[in-house]
Each structure stands twice: as C-alpha cells, then as structure tokens.
Amino acid sequence: MDVVSIGETMVLFTPREQGQMRYSRSYTSRIAGAETNTLIGLAKLGHRTGWISQVGQDEFGAQIMAAVRGEGVDTSQTAVHPSAPTGVFYKERLQEVSVRVYYYRQGSAASLLVPESIDENYIARAKYLYLTGITPALSPNCREAVFHAIGLARKHGVQVVFDPNLRRKLWSDEEAREVLTRLCGMADLVLAGISEGTFLFGDGEGNEDGDGKKSSGSYLAERFLQLGCKAAILKLGAEGAYYATGMEQKLVPGFKVDHVADPVGAGDGFAAGVLSGLLDGLPLEEAVRRGCAIGAAVVTVNGDIEGLPDRELLAAFMSGRGE
C-alpha cells in the first residue's frame, strides 16, 4: 500500500435547493468522509490506498462500501458492525459558499473502532499513514486507536501525515487543542488550514506586516515545526499554501477557479495532491503545487469526491486547459 488511513465515512444528504434546511423537501445523497476523500483522490491518480474503518450492517454501510471499493480503495480492513449504525450527515447550503453541516454520527459503527481494530502488518506495509483530527474526536476509543496507529507507524518507519481537520461540533475546544497539538507534534508532515493553526496557536500578534495570510502562514508553520514535526504546510485557500521545513520555506500560489460550487472537501483534495506528489518523488514545492491544484479542482464541483481529478484531468487543470 502507498497510503493507509483510519476514519469514518458517512452518507451525506444535500438539499436540492439552497436555503434553510427546514424547508427542504428533497435531497441528493452521496458518500463523504475526510479520510476516504483523500484515499479516493489518491486512487484516482493510480496510487494504492487502504481504508481502516467500520460501517453498520445497513443500507448506508453497503452504499459506502460499494462506493469506496468502486473507486479502487482497498476495504479489506473495513469491518461491518452487527448492531451500530452507519453515520449520516446533512449539508445545508444557505448561499453558494455558506455551508452548515449537521452530523448524526454519535454511537456510529466507526466511532466504535478500538486499537485492536488495527492490523499491525497493514500499517507496517504502507509508505504513509494519513490521519486527520476528526477520528480522535469521534470517541475516546477512536482516540486511542489513532495514537496506537501512530505508534505502529513509528515502529515500522512509516511516515505519518496529519491534517488537524478541526471539527468543533465533535469535541470541546480544550480537548481539541490538547489532542491536536500532541498529534501534530508526532507527525512527520502537518497539513493545516490557517484557521486551524490560529485555533492552536493564536495569530502571532504583530506578524501582520501587510503581507496578510502569508505572514500568518510563516508564523504558524514555524509554530508547528517547534512541536516536532519535520515539515508543515499551511493552506491559504485561494491564495495557495505556505510550506516550511527546517531548511526551506516558500509560498506556493493557488490556482484560480471561475466559480465555487461547494467548498467542502478542498482540504482532503489538497492532501491527496501533496501525498501523490511525494509518492511520485517530486520536491516538496511541486507536491504542494499539486495539492493546491486538486484543492481548487474539488471546489468547482458539488460533492467531496466528484471533483477529484484523474491524471489526465489534473494535467489539464494544472496547465490551465482545465478551466
């Protein structure tokens, strides 16, 4: 396997029309989950990926398994729980870019994952373990599973890539700050949004030197490096991303898109791009550029995975022919 990940995937319902969801009468349904979004993005680019999870023994679980498997992700480590349900969530679109999310995932099959759910050999054979801050927020046992997996990755020399993916609806700010800070310090590479960095470290008073996001990007990247990770990438939205290692730091400009159909899933596409670049042996700067391209491509299409490109579409998008 090139990349394995642990996390929950749910069925996502989106009202057909914009506005307050209480007036919605019809919905479309898709599957979505940060970790499978990234694994599917990688699979579409030809990388070998595997998903460690649990779904319920229900129709939604079957829908998710068929979809994830159908996209080419290995599901041999995804169990079907006999009694706990598959989680679902709703995405209310108030306006084009204003989105509210409602989860129905408490006690879900995935939230019952435990350290024993993880096969040591499966982690040991991977090149990268990709984790996000959503899984440790699901339950105390999921948190233990995440720390256990990092221990296994370290034992076997598997690189750990971590996206804090802060979800304030899932846990308290105090708990989130404490656990996410620890996890960032244990990762080899951290991929974070500016708002997540600011949540963890503040915005570095006085660093707004007229260069806006770039200066907070460099301040925050530095703070992540101080935690102990080897490289940090701060996602700046349409402006691109800022990366820093102990040796170099740079702003990589973003890709312009004509319209944003759905902002959710951009970060997961970004992670797929960076990981894919690293797997292809690109220098970090080029891997970050690929991340920016996929993040931008994702927001032009409704749904989290529908805009993830294959190699051909990615090349067209990056050369400007895809817009």
Positions annotated as catalytic residues are: 268
CA nearest to 80, candidates 98, 64, 102 = 64
For residue 267, state whether it binds Mg ion (rule: CB under 5 A).
yes
Q: Is 262 in the site for ligand CKP (CB under 6 A)?
A: no
Q: Are 291 and 241 in contact (CB under 8 A)?
A: yes
Among residue numbers 43 through 72, which ones bind ligand CKP (CB under 6 A)? none
Residues 6+ apart with CB under 8 A from 137: 143, 167, 170, 171, 176, 179
* Distance between start and end Cα atoms, the chain: 32
For β-strands 241-245 and 231-235, DSSP reports them as antiparallel
* 113 lines the binding site for ligand CKP (CB under 6 A): no
Residue 165 is a binding residue for Mg ion (CB under 5 A):
yes
10 binds, among ligand CKP, Mg ion, none (CB under 5 to 8 A by kind): ligand CKP
Beta 78-81 vs 49-56: how paired, if at all? parallel
Q: Please report, as residue ranges, which positions from 5 to 34 form the binding site for ligand CKP (by CB under 6 A).
A: 10, 32-34
138 interacts with ligand CKP by CB under 6 A:
no
Chosen from Mg ion, ligand CKP, none, partner binding at 33 (C-beta under 5 to 8 Å by type): ligand CKP
Interface pick for ligand CKP out of 54, 117, 159, 165 (rule CB under 6 A): 165
Q: Which residues lie closer than 8 Å to 263 by C-beta, 6 or more apart?
A: 97, 99, 299
Q: Which is nearer to ligand CKP, 125 or 163 (CB)?
A: 163
Residue nearer to Mg ion on the CB measure, 85 or 254: 254
Handedness of CA 13, 129, 182, 118 (dihedral sign): positive
Nearer to ligand CKP, 251 or 308 (CB): 308
Q: Report the DSSP beta bridge partners of residue 241.
A: 235, 252
Which residue in the shown chain puts its C-beta closest to Mg ion? 267
Give the binding site for ligand CKP (CB under 6 A).
10, 32-34, 37, 134, 165, 167, 264-268, 304
Give the binding site for Mg ion (CB under 5 A).
165, 267
